[in-house]
Structure 1
């Protein structure tokens, strides 16, 4: 695997830390800027909305740019927003920096996914994708807890400074390792024809449903653990880290399997996830069952996810950067809708098990959406002799 692919994963680690770290910083931000905690929570929503809405626009902006220059521009803008966020005393300015950071992150993701698969042969695309996505899992395991620790000891601004500083080595490494070539780009009309194909639209819908299922339960894992499983609040960070460790294991193993057997991994992985979310809903009251399932579900979710992303990039081979942008948008649509649906079920009085049931339903829908095109065409995420 080329060093440049791991460099992209490092940059994604910094950006993933920024995306998720606010969950542990909201009380400090609210107190420091003299706003309510719900108002501080809007900073997270602003980032997610900026990612979902900005990804297609940023990928259009970068469509004909040289990849290295586009990556450097997006990452530099991302760093600048965190420096400004770290020094501002205005809530409105901080909110604006979160939107701007999301736009820069969305553009970086779109180019990074296309660049990663362009750096490797066709039979290693899923593995390259898994390395990039692995940056998010490392952020969940190490970056987010570290950000919360920094915020607790040195104030919430220190976490913003840390994200900016961690991004600097990635910026320097990108300048040295990423080829300064242009992504192959057809006419705008030609790319739109590629992006409007039914198999591609089905793959994007599958990605959104898949991520919705993952984040639906993950978002409410803490209250599920404390109110249903009976785990003490002090153990919740360890449980979240366990999900992250499973995710890291899954993304490491899944990338290798997906290049050889992509169709099998996608179908079997989603079927296993639907069964796993159902099992978690049924057995959440037992720590002996629920705790191992948290690890397994993290492993399956992030082991299967890169294969789904690689499939989108394969189906949109004529529009790689735009496809990367749409994949990023689908990911964040799912990450927004899943927690919302989980919150609706809890608000309806169905209890803290209900997000797991909703995850099982969303995963079943994802499996149905993906299976028909896969079985009809016999296609896979990447060309492979065994597909």
Structure 2
């Protein structure tokens, strides 16, 4: 695997720390800004909305840019939004900086995904994406607990300053490792848009959105769930979040080794694990020795879905991956938006923190239901390719 793929993963770590760290900072932000826990949780959804919109818009806007220039611009803006977030005392301003930072983070994800896939080659798509997304997983293990500790001891603003510094360091890494110039083949917008008509892509997006929502409805409220329902002290939160991250790293690493060859089998196993873990958590929220392993299992099986859905999208997209990758980032963030929103609705209705487990299990079941449809669509595409080989490239239907 080229070294540049790992360095792109490090850049995702810097930005992913910001994406994740609010899960451990909700109580501090809620108290400091004078808003409720569900309102503070909307900062997570706001970040997801920015990514949802930003990925396709920036993918199209920067289609003819040098990928190096695009990634540097996105990182610089991301760092500035965190400086602004650290300085504000307004909930509204903080909400706006979360949307703006996520907007360019989505653009970085889209460009970095295509870059990593091309560097790795078609036989290692899932492995390359597992390394790239592994930066987000390491952020769960290191960045999230570190941000939580900073927030608890130095105030939540210190975590925002730390992300700004990490983003600046990532800019240096991109300058040092990604060559100047454009890709050998400049993407054509018309070709990219035409590729989006493939129904297999939209089934893959559905799996992405639903599986992500199943994880995020639980993850977004872990800190208050652990302290208010499970009965653990604040000091346990960073450690459990780190264990969640270790499980996520194991899941994404193993899946990255299997998803290129068996994406559907990997998805079946991963989603089954998410559903079972979410049900256990819902039933045993007040029992630490059951709730904590269930939380870790959600991270392990939830992140294992990532390489499989990414590999599937790039396999189906064939020679027009840029816009397909951008919409997959948007699909992830549909899940990230809807998950915390549904959890907030349940909590506001007085359902208690066990409700996030039930919602996670329900979304997992819906995600599982997309797999048979995707298998059937892939089978029809294969048969069409055999019947009409002159009209369809084999590269557009591989990866089933």
- The TM-score normalised by the length of structure 2 is 0.85
> Which residue number in structure 2 is paired with residue 36 of structure 1?
34
> Which residue number in structure 2 is paired with residue 266 of structure 1?
267
> Which residue number in structure 2 is paired with residue 50 of structure 1?
50
Q: Describe the SS at the equivalent of 1:65.
A: coil
Q: Describe the SS at the equivalent of 1:16.
A: helix
Report the CA distance between 1:55 and its aligned residue: 1.6
Alignment of 1:196-275 (within 5 A): 196-226=197-227, 229-275=230-276
Cα distance between partner residues in 1 of 2:378 and 2:124: 21
Gaps of 5+ in 1: none
Cα distance between partner residues in 2 of 1:348 and 1:156: 28
Cα distance between partner residues in 1 of 2:44 and 2:136: 16
> Which residue number in structure 2 is paired with residue 172 of structure 1?
172
> Which residue number in structure 1 is paired with residue 133 of structure 2?
133
Aligned CA RMSD, in angstroms, stands at 3.0
> Which residue number in structure 2 is paired with residue 110 of structure 1?
110
Q: Describe the SS at the equivalent of 2:65.
A: coil
Report the CA distance between 1:113 and its aligned residue: 0.9
Report the CA distance between 1:31 and its aligned residue: 7.5
Per-residue CA deviations over 1:140-192 (Å, capped at 9, x if unaligned) read: 22112222333444444432222122123321221232244327455433322
Q: Does the CA-based 8 Å contact 1:205-1:366 persist in structure 2?
A: yes
Report the CA distance between 1:198 and its aligned residue: 0.8
Gaps of 5+ in 2: 383-394
Q: Does the CA-based 8 Å contact 1:72-1:171 persist in structure 2?
A: yes
- The TM-score normalised by the length of structure 1 is 0.88
Q: Does the CA-based 8 Å contact 1:267-1:371 persist in structure 2?
A: no
Range moving further from structure 2, 275-284 or 8-17: 275-284
> Which residue number in structure 2 is paired with residue 83 of structure 1?
83
Per-residue CA deviations over 1:109-162 (Å, capped at 9, x if unaligned) read: 110111111111212110110111111121122112222333444444432222
> Which residue number in structure 2 is paired with residue 13 of structure 1?
13
Aligned length: 384
Q: Does the CA-based 8 Å contact 2:275-2:364 persist in structure 1?
A: yes
Report the CA distance between 1:11 and its aligned residue: 0.9
Q: Does the CA-based 8 Å contact 2:54-2:103 persist in structure 1?
A: yes
Range moving further from structure 2, 128-137 or 233-242: 233-242
Q: 1:31 to 1:165 in 2, by over 3 A?
A: same
